[in-house]
Chains A and B, each alone.
Chain A
Amino acid sequence: MTEEKAKGNADLPEKGTTVLMLGNPNVGKSALFNRMTGANAIVSNYPGTTVDFTSGTFIEGGHTYTIIDVPGTYSLEPRDAAEEVAVRMLRDSPDATVMIVLDATKTDRGLYVALEVMERGMPCIVAVNMMDAAHEKKITVDIAELQRILGVPVVSTTATSGEGVRDLAEMLRKAKVADIGAIAQRLRGEEQERESVRGCGGCGGC
């Protein structure tokens, strides 16, 4: 219950890029956070232990990232105290990069909040987590296609084993603001190639 906690945004470190880790409850955010920072965060099956948010730092490619584990939320229209905290944190750090964590077995629910974040015009990167569970349930997620549609980097991860976490860290610097209009167009089949992302979209694993 007593994770290292910061009381309000006054305590957030100023150096480097801030990364907000956002997603539904129980998508393995805390586990992913632990993998990336090795910090003293708690993984749990019920929402609530992450109300006091956890933050940590890691260095990738000579760049220091401050990463914050935002309480799990289903949408940006808050329903409870934890979700309120999530929304407030997004509002209070407009310059932050948002790492949206999806559960590969329940992508739809996570995508909803992902679209909400994208509408706010914040630079995003998407991590499709729990790939192992999806594999067990015979669910496949076309990462390359998802990346093409969303126009932001998409990485598949399995936080419990650490797969894809390295890629995720490397891709953070390629995070970009999604063009929500373009997403809608792509969904209607009206192609509008975005070379920079497309160039990487082919392999899917990166």
Chain B
Amino acid sequence: MVFSSDARWEMVDAITRQTVTYGTYKHTLGDVLGDLTVKPLTGIPVAFAALYAFWSVFTSFAGTLMTDGFMVKFFDGFWLPWMQSVWPDPASWHYFLFVGNPAADTCFEAFGMLTSGLFVSIGVVLPAVLVFYLMMTLLEDSGYLPRLAVLMDSVLHRIGLHGYAIVPIILGLGCNVPAVTATRILETKKQRFIMMTLLALFIPCGAQLGIMMSVLPDLVGIVMLCLIVGFCIFGFVLNKVIPGENPEILVDVPRYHWPVKEYVAKKLWNRTKGFLKEAVPFVLFGILVVNLLYLGGVIQGLANLLEPVFVTWFGVPKETVGPLIAAFLRKDLAIAQLSTIPMTTYQMVASVVLVTIYFPCVATFVVMLREGWKELIAAIVVLFVVVFIYGGIIHGIGILLGVA
């Protein structure tokens, strides 16, 4: 026997009438605080404060304590000299692949698979990802995240998404791979497509943020601003262009509660493990492939071919073309590479923004493929168009400001 939905609701009503009794419920401080964090007037400052705390703990732990405090010292002081002294024959191809530049003083400059590769993945990215996921898990399990979703709903609706899109966005700041998977919480194909494209384009991952913070700490703010503006503009455009629906959000806001230690630990472990398994091999492999391409002259060839476009249209020096192409394999390393090229502030900002928006890394590429090849191809087309237009816009603004 099948009922209509109205009949079903009537039955539900009848059942609850007979079985459920509501006592007089007194509001607690927790309830009122919960309401306050959702109302825009008080909620937006709280969201700012939450992001402040998030960012502050992130930079203190990952940047100051782990990377600058210990990892740089270890990798530059012990690991690199040791590798350079142990590996035979500095002129050979395998030395170039695995150790890199024999004259390098720091792991940023060496570019070998076992020097820069290990330093980037373990010294820079691992602490960043670890503390990022810890904060993320705490936000989630305390019940703040759904409230943030409600708060962000009206803004995100303008760009074709809804409040829950905040989840893939925040996850994407850690690593785009789980973020692409998390786009499944959005209801329609249109939303998922917009989200995935914007993720690939404008959300820098933890690896990129970590590198940006250590190689060009003064410019992170400007780069982020460029990315946020781009995110909003192109989200708005994509929303207008792509057919489809953007249904209302259906949120369940749980009560605030203390996160359960075991669940936090378990989740943290699962996520970090996922990162180690899926992303780290790509870092190492990516450097290997880039070095091979350098050896084979492929990157040089492409750089010569694309040079006019980059120099005239984006206004960046021609040395950046190589790293920009290598960015397909590993964006974070490309930023490290860029930092060694002498450039003006404008050129630095423009090229870092370009690297960030211009192509997802291989790992992201693979998970996007898993979500559907048609969407992936469409996303790539959008990507090229956006990179071209946005790169041009930044260059244009640079010319107007007289810095380009």
Contact = CB atoms under 8 A, between A and B. Distances in A.
A150 B263 CA distance: 34
A107 B19 contact: yes
Interface string A111-141: 1100110010000000000000100011111
Main secondary structure of the interface of B (DSSP, over half): helix
Interface of B: 1-3, 5, 8-9, 11-16, 18-25, 140-141, 143, 145-146, 149, 164, 167, 177-178, 181-182, 184-188, 192, 247, 250, 252, 254-255, 260, 263, 266-267, 270-271, 273-274, 277-278
A146 interface: yes
Nearest to A112: B12
Contacts of A2: 270-271, 273-274, 277-278
A88 B12 CA distance: 24
A187 B16 CA distance: 11
Given A2-B273, A48-B182, A141-B20, A149 B247 contact: no
A1 B178 contact: yes
Given A2-B270, A2-B277, A40-B266, A142 B19 contact: yes
Interface in A133-166: 133, 137-143, 145-146, 149-150, 160
Contacts of B16: 107-108, 111
Given A45-B141, A81-B185, A187-B15, 13 more contacts: A1-B270, A1-B274, A42-B266, A46-B146, A48-B164, A48-B185, A79-B247, A107-B15, A112-B12, A119-B2, A138-B23, A139-B23, A145-B18
A52 B182 CA distance: 10
Contacts of A115: 3, 8, 11-12
Contacts of B22: 138-139
Of B19, B143, B188, B255, most buried by chain A (CB within 10 Å of CB) is B19
Nearest to B186: A80
B140 A45 contact: yes
Residue among B15, B18, B266 with most chain A CB within 10 A: B15
Contact of A79 (B164, B250, B260, B278): B250
**Closest 4 CB pairs between A and B?**
A138-B23, A48-B185, A2-B274, A80-B187
A184 interface: yes
B8 A181 contact: no
